[in-house]
Structure 1
Amino acid sequence: MVAKISVGNSLYGAIAYNGEKINEARGRLLTTNRIYNDGSGTMDIHRAMEDFITFMPPQMKVEKPVVHISLNPHPEDVLTDTELQDIAREYLEKLGFGNQPYLVFKHEDIDRHHLHIVTVNVDENGKRLNRDFLYRRSDRIRRELEQKYGLHPAERKNCRLDTPLRKVDASAGDVKKQAGNIVKAISGQYRFQTMGEYRALLSLYNMTVEEAHGNVRGREYHGLVYSATDDKGNKVGNPFKSSLFGKSVGYEAVQKKFARSKQEIKDRKLAGMTKRTVLSVLEGTYDKEKFVATLKGKGIDTVLRYTEEGRIYGATFIDHRTGCVLNGSRMGKELSANALQEHFTLPYAGQPPIPLSVPVEEPENRQGYSGGEYESHSGGMNLFAPEGPAVDAEEEAFIRAMQRKKKKKKRKGLGM
């Protein structure tokens, strides 16, 4: 997160700049202190100005009483409005402006949503607040908030990867450098809770990792070994010990990463967003390739693992929007490997999906199904209602086909 502070003497200019933007639906007013807020997300610029003036005495010796702050989370930090409010309030409290009148705006006019804060650095008696080391204190507070909320740290302007983050290409040479760039970059950008999830993430960049355990002179050791792969997942070239890339991607660091990721995902409820997106796409198709492609277009990569017989035995979703890597079963039984395998191998795969919102018949009506009862059933597999009755998929597919034939005969009889 990047924090920028500017001081000036035009209170109306700072309020109007932000107020006009949110009143044009390019943002919203998140929270205020000592300033009227009707909760609509918009604001009355003149009313806000009057509230500030009421707080400030008519005569002040402070030349630049207005403080305008912008807080800019990393684009990959997905935060709710409530979390943004909490961050802004805590930032101002630690900075010494917690009791001041202030306005907190969320700007949404660019993809990188960010906050603007307008306040004043004088108290009710016209005395200037302590501004000594303001920027230094702001930087310390920023780092504390990054750690508390699991945010990406502010990056130095000239801090870049030696090469753009892309798949390892063994034919391009210097595989060690390519691999090092990838493992160091993704370990800081993503959250994963198991070695399987870590491998799934690495596979997007033609890499894999294995654990190495042993005993040397009576002492146990644990390590990681990274390898480059081809597009089919086969290892190519020589493996690399994690020590070649630094402690940040070694065994102990990755184990700590698992625990930290688990806590962050739980505390910030990050898995919910991914689950909702995956379920909505799954509900709309029985075509596996379309499912994967649609999710990719929404910022989620899907890594499916298959047995030798071609059956899905593992599914991992990598959400680039939240930076979370999540095993399907972690999000629920309906996204487990078995559920996905069944969903994509039903007899009616490839046909338009059956609506999933039709209520299921009461238990006493489940004996001796008729064609009409099948017409109102939610698709046979009942994927999104785990407690529903089991239905034979082949039988349902047959009945659907018979219904289509009846419709065709009716059309012929009507001369259509």
Structure 2
Amino acid sequence: MVIVIHQSSDTRNAFQYNEMKVKEGVASYFHSANTISINPFMYGQGHRWKILHDIEKQNPRVKKKCLHISVNPSGSDLLKLDDRTVRQEVDRMMEHMGYGGQPYFVYKHQDLERVHFHVVSTRIDKTTGKKIRDGYEKDKMQKFVKELEQKYQLKQEIPEQLRNLKFTASSGYLKRNLETLFSELNRMDIITSKDMYDQALGFFQVEIRKAGRGHMVFVTDENGTVIRHPMKLSDFEERPRFYLSRQELLSQEQNRKDLPNSFSKQNHEGIAIGILKSLIIKELILNMGTQLTGDSFKKGKRNRLKKGDKKRRGKGYRK
């Protein structure tokens, strides 16, 4: 089981993305809670949006109001979790994360290789108008996932591309896992320029190329030869921060935290490629290891990385 909290700042975008998928016939209305109508899916899209928008209007100062979560069961998970159970566990997840009393909509998607679910809500408390505290969200969610796996005896299925830390011609669940990669890289303050972001993508054999007025996402082999059908970057909900529109970029930059005191922008730009790769991989393992591959995999990978670091330092790499 993989559950991802998406870094979406605009609730309308997340809401419209899921509504669009329903209109395209690749998603369906699945569940809702705490709404003014018993079944908000009986009404139009405007009715559902008004429920969230009216709450968010109480606090226009908060920039990141959106709560957008994707719940991604594996194929074997779905054999143990029927629709009724998924609804119950989504409710329990929202309660666990501190959003149990908030209105939210759940959409069931079938546009990828397997069924998955999206939850859209707001971080503005419907009663007080204040932003709900969201500290340690990742830790809280990992705890919930672990309890869920123990409760239903779910098994971890490690995607091949995450085991190898790169994408290949046979990688499954490509779009979803590319979005996960973008999300993790977007949160790394160590990456301070578009060139560095592109280098980081290159470590996973992913390239973004200009195509007309937009961009395309390519998966390549080690020689740079395209090995998968390219995808439009605009089709991704989670996109690299250096490829956002000017308006999206200004909004995001305004809310970004200051870089840690131990690093400066000049130092970041001068980091050797090998060390940058090591830092990125370590960060990805720390953020994704427990949730996707289990503690034993994370420890083993860390040990291999340490050995690799010592070997590189012996060959003249500098920090």
Taking structure 2 as the reference length, the TM-score comes to: 0.46
- Greater percentage in strand: 1
Higher relative contact order (CA 8 A, sep 6+): 2
- Greater percentage in helix: 2
